[in-house]
């Protein structure tokens, strides 16, 4: 599923946004809301359907001055996929 | 350090509502006998104006509400839904229209889409005056098919809600098949909750244990067959499972409902409860209603619970169950929900279930319409 060229995007059933009242990024969906922790929010913010997973990882590593984030990002995306939060652009 | 920036009283404040449900009208072209609206809806005051609703939307959003549901009645009988959706969406709400599909034309759908509507939930009514089940009521089915095709073409996933009861539950196999034919992504099969008209019709609507078991088996078979293609959610009836449920995730915790005539409620059926004053959104701010009003504080948390529940380890899980159910069955809105086996009134539930076991298919139904509403003139 997560070949290096696939580009994750937020599933159309969900809306990703910053919620001031929660001081957190959230995913809104019919009759529900998932409140995301900071790293989940930062990852999903970059799931714009244009960037590949390695690009997202590189971007996060630059932004947070960190390295070796790939396993964490991939594990999260796998979970997000299982929850239907994201879809994959492959063309 | 951060906490220094927060004013001290804000730290003690409970979170605001997450969910605003606007019941914009009691008018409805359909006559479902399982409708949860109050039986005496015909006596309700005049409907809120567009500006009244816009005020409610803005104030609820300012408190942090993120879900905006529009229902009724049939919301599409009002011509300002687009305006409400546009404002809500612009403020960051996730907007959800709950409709029977009656009145949803191409033009209307395009306008709603343009206003930013996020989601449509299509309800599958079938207990209409003309026919008591979906099978014979082909006109309804054709309408749903048309509406589903239209909303799908507009880019909305097809999400269908179907209320199950004694007179349609035996056709569940066909109902699920129809939903799959229509191309639904989600199907919610909700067993009737006995409120309003549904309570009035309880004897006619309650399925037998065997009917229910068969329905669950049918659902499991379809789930296995359809997998992720169409997700099916089977909402179990609390009478049969004997599991009390929290009022909308806890009275005054996440949910705020506003009636067509402007009363703010912690649960969409709460206006039947006696001895409470329901704040009018035209006279009070949503902030005051949520945080200060006696109504929203009346059954908040667990301190008010009766002795039966106070000593129970499950009290944080269910807060003693549904207040409306307690009231309708025992006359006391502060009683333990009788569906709980520990309730001193639980025999009432067993009696209703025993009644449902008596043979005889069709039992007379009272249909939801203004004439019956005026004639009966009571809440349930
Ligand atoms: S349940 Fe039926 S009668 Fe009641 S509001 Fe919905 S469509 Fe109308
Ligand atoms: S006794 Fe009260 S708290 Fe305990 S399970 Fe029953 S309803 Fe819930």
Substitution target in B15, B68, B118 with the highest count of A β-carbons within 10 Å is: B118
The confidence score (pLDDT) of residue B140 equals 66
Report residue B20's pLDDT band, with 50, 70 and 90 as the boundaries. Answer: very high
Tell me the pLDDT tens digit for each residue of B183-229.
888 999 999 889 888 888 888 888 999 999 999 999 999 999 998 88
Nearest 5°: CA angle at B263, between B257 and B266? 35
- pLDDT value at position B84? 98
Cβ neighbors of A85 (< 8 A, separation 6 or more) are: A10, A11, A14, A27, A34, A44
Residue B298 φ then ψ, to 5°: -60, -50
B17 Cβ below 6 A of ligand 1: no
Label the pairing between strands B94-99 and B67-71: parallel
Per-residue confidence (pLDDT) for residue A13, from 0 to 100:
83
Cβ of B284 under 8 Å from any chain A Cβ?
Answer: no
* Residues B67, A22: C-beta atoms closer than 8 Å: no
DSSP assigned state of B228: G
- A15/B69 CB distance under 8 A: no
Closest residue to atom 2 of ligand 1, CA basis: B32
Q: Residue A3: pLDDT band by 50, 70, 90 thresholds?
A: low
The interface pTM score, or ipTM, of the predicted complex is 0.85
Nearest by Cα to B156 from B99, B234, B72, B102: B99
Q: What is the pLDDT of residues B328-371, one digit of tens each?
A: 999 999 999 999 999 999 999 999 999 888 886 667 788 888 89
* Chain B: residue whose CA lies nearest to A34: B66
Closest Cα partner for A16 from A6, B366, B18, A40? A40
DSSP designation for B334: T
Domains of chain B (ranges; CATH) run 16-380 (3.20.20.70)
B41/B39 Cα distance (integer angstroms): 6
Q: Which of residues 5-64 of A touch B (CB under 8 A)?
A: 12-13, 15, 17, 19-22, 26, 28-33
* pLDDT of B154 above 90: yes
CA atoms within 13 A on the CB side of B66: 25
Q: Is the dihedral of CA B42, B197, B119, B247 positive or negative?
A: positive
Round to whole Å and give the CA distance between B325 and B306.
15
pLDDT tens-digit readout, B77-117: 999 999 999 999 999 999 999 998 889 999 999 999 999 99
Residues of B in contact with A12 (CB under 8 A): 155, 157
pLDDT digits (tens, 9 = 90+) for B37-66: 889 898 999 999 999 999 999 999 999 999
CA–chain centroid gap for B246, Å, is: 14
Task: Calculate the CA B263 to chain-centre distance.
Answer: 16
Distance CA B11, CA B156 (A): 40
Residue nearest to atom 1 of ligand 2 (CA): B309
The domains of chain A, with CATH numbers, are 7-83 (3.90.930)
Q: Average the pLDDT over each of B4-18, B276-290, B291-305 and give the range with the smallest value.
A: B4-18
pLDDT score recorded for residue B174? 84
CB B373 within 8 A of CB B40: yes
Higher pLDDT, A32 or B301: B301
Does the CB atom of residue B127 touch ligand 1 within 6 A? no
pLDDT (tens digit, 9 = 90+) per residue, A27-82? 999 888 999 999 999 999 999 999 999 999 999 999 999 999 999 999 999 999 99
> What's the pLDDT score for residue A58?
96
Strands B186-191 and B231-235: parallel
Q: Which atom of ligand 2 lies at the shortest distance from residue B318's CA?
A: 8
A chain contacts of residue B159, beta-carbon cutoff 8 Å? 30
Q: List residues near ligand 2 (CB under 6 A).
A: B 244, 308-309, 312, 314-315, 318, 320-321, 336-337, 340, 342
Whole-model pTM: value is: 0.89
Residue percentage of chain B with pLDDT more than 90: 61
Check CB contact under 8 Å for B155 and A12. yes
């Amino acid at each position: 599923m997560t070949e290096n060229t696939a580009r994750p995007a937020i599933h159309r059933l969900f809306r990703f946004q910053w919620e001031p009242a929660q001081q957190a990024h959230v995913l809104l969906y019919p009759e529900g809301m998932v409140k995301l922790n900071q790293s989940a929010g930062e990852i999903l913010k970059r799931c714009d359907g244009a960037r590949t997973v390695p690009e997202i990882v590189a971007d996060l590593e630059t932004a947070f001055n960190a390295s070796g984030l790939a396993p964490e990002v991939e594990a999260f995306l796998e979970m997000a996929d299982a929850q239907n939060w994201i879809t994959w652009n492959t063309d | 350090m951060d906490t220094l920036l927060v004013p001290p009283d804000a730290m003690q404040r409970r979170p605001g509502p997450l969910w605003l449900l606007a019941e914009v009208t009691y008018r409805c072209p359909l006559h479902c006998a399982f409708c949860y609206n109050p039986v005496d809806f015909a006596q309700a005051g005049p409907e809120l104006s567009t500006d009244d609703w816009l005020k409610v939307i803005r104030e609820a959003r300012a408190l942090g509400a993120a879900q905006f549901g529009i229902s009724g009645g049939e919301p599409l009988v009002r011509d300002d839904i687009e305006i409400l959706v546009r404002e809500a969406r612009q403020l960051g709400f996730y907007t959800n229209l709950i409709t029977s599909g009656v009145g949803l034309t191409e033009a209307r759908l395009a306008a709603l889409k343009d206003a930013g509507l996020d989601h449509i939930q299509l309800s599958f009514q079938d207990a209409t005056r003309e026919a008591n089940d979906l099978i014979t009521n082909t006109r309804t089915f054709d309408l749903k098919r048309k509406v589903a095709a239209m909303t799908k073409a507009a880019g909305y996933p097809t999400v269908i809600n179907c209320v199950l009861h004694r007179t349609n539950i035996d056709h569940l196999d066909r109902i699920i098949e129809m939903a799959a034919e229509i191309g639904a992504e989600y199907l919610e099969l909700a067993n009737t909750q006995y409120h309003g008209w549904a309570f009035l019709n309880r004897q006619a609507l309650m399925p037998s244990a065997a009917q229910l078991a068969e329905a669950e088996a049918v659902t499991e078979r379809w789930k296995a067959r359809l997998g992720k293609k169409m997700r099916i959610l089977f909402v179990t009836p609390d009478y049969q499972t004997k599991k009390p449920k929290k009022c909308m995730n806890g009275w005054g915790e996440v949910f705020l409902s506003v009636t067509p005539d402007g009363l703010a409620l912690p649960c969409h059926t709460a206006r039947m409860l006696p001895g409470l004053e329901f704040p009018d959104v035209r006279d009070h701010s949503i902030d005051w209603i949520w945080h200060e009003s006696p109504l929203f504080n009346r059954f908040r948390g667990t301190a008010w619970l009766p002795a039966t529940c106070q000593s129970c380890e499950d009290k944080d899980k269910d807060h003693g169950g549904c207040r409306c159910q307690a009231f309708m069955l025992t006359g006391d809105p502060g009683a333990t929900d009788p569906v709980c086996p520990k309730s001193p009134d639980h025999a009432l539930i067993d009696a209703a279930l025993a009644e449902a076991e008596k043979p005889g298919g069709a039992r007379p139904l009272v249909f939801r319409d203004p004439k019956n509403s005026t004639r009966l003139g009571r809440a349930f």
